[in-house]
Amino acid sequence: MLDRPGWGVPEISVHLGLPEAEIHAGLDRLSELRLLRPKFSDSSILRPVSLDVGVQILLARREEEVRRAQEEFAAGRAAVLQILETQARADGGGYGYEELPSIERIQDRLERLTHSCTERLLSFHPGGAQPLAQLEASKPLDAALLGRGVEMRTLYQDSVRNDQDTLRYAQWLTDSGGQVRTTAVLPIRMVLFDRTAALLPVDPDNTAAGAVQVSGPCVITALTALHETVWERAASFGTAADRERDGEGLTGQERQMLKLLARGMTDEAAAKQLGIGVRTARRMMSSLMQRLEARSRFEAGVLAERHGWLP
């Protein structure tokens, strides 16, 4: 586009030997990176920034990503250390933290904690559709809990409403006395047993990395409050939460998609956060662009903000 500023999508497609759909996707990505800008005379026509400006934009973007990651890591580390320090002072060092490095140990601990649970079990299950084998393994434990009168509050992502296996399991849970709700995004995989212990992943992006069991009033109270906050905003199972539209005509998933993309996430990263496939995410974005009458994702972002669709 720098060498042939007069070329449009058809010319670029022929020159590169690629379908026009891929050219449009590439132009969208360049717009996201702010390497293409609308012409002042006609905002529907995109022009590339100069090479030196483009390099500066990419370097600044990368520096900002590194800075933000460092700040988030430092803030997260400080928060965890503060919780542990507070817990240590309150309990005289009696808080609990134990790593469970293998799937077998995690399953053994999950069974033990489930059998000892007497009042309430709270859980987050991100990632969209749940593996059938995992659902089948959970059924006897959940049945035993509900049979003892333990309160169960289970949170899935809205996208599970498109998966028959997870839907059937959620229906079985509610029919058996459990409570199930869904929301667009969940913060982390978590199971809370009474007010005594919680299982969390060592690495939220890699469940195979193992889990940790944490305990102690301070930590458990904070995690319980997190679950209750998400629970209050979630939709009860049985309602079409992912299809209900707000005042702007957006579903919960669509609004979350816009928020995630506004933060600079790729389609792949946004899809993972929403627990949906990349193709589904792209179809959703295409639908939003059509409703906004936008020719590019950059223009869609501008129009979405103008419509008040972004916070």
Q: What is the DSSP string of 170-206?
A: HHHHHHTT-EEEEES--S--EEEETTTEEEEESSTT-
What does the pLDDT read at residue 28? 82
| Strand-strand pairing, 36-38 and 211-215 | unpaired
pLDDT at residue 289 in the model: 83
CA 109 – CA 117 distance, rounded (Å): 12
- Closest by CA position to 284, among listed 119, 160, 297: 297
The residues of the chain that CATH labels 3.30.870.10 are: 96-236
**CB contact at 8 A, 139 and 203:** no
Residue (of 129, 114, 120) closest to 177 by Cα position? 120
Say if CB 159 and CB 128 are below 8 A apart.
Answer: yes
Phi and psi at residue 233, to the nearest 5°: -90, -10
Output the tens digit of pLDDT for each of the chain's 311 residues.
Answer: 777 777 878 888 888 888 888 888 888 888 777 788 776 666 666 778 777 777 787 788 777 777 776 777 677 666 655 665 565 555 544 467 888 988 889 989 999 999 999 999 999 998 878 888 888 888 899 999 998 889 999 999 888 887 888 888 988 888 888 999 988 888 889 999 998 899 999 887 777 788 999 988 888 988 999 999 999 888 887 654 445 566 667 777 787 788 777 777 788 888 877 777 788 788 888 888 888 888 877 777 778 888 788 76
Q: Given this model, what pLDDT does residue 98 score? A: 87
Q: What topology is assigned to 96-236 in CATH?
A: Endonuclease; Chain A (3.30.870)
Residue spans in the chain of domains classed CATH 1.10.10.10: 245-311
Please tell me the distance from the alpha carbon of residue 125 to that of residue 301, in angstroms, as a whole number: 30
What is the total residue count of the chain? 311
What is residue 242's predicted lDDT score, i.e. its pLDDT? 46
Alpha-carbon distance 185 to 265, whole Å?
Answer: 14
Q: What is the CATH number of domain 245-311?
A: 1.10.10.10
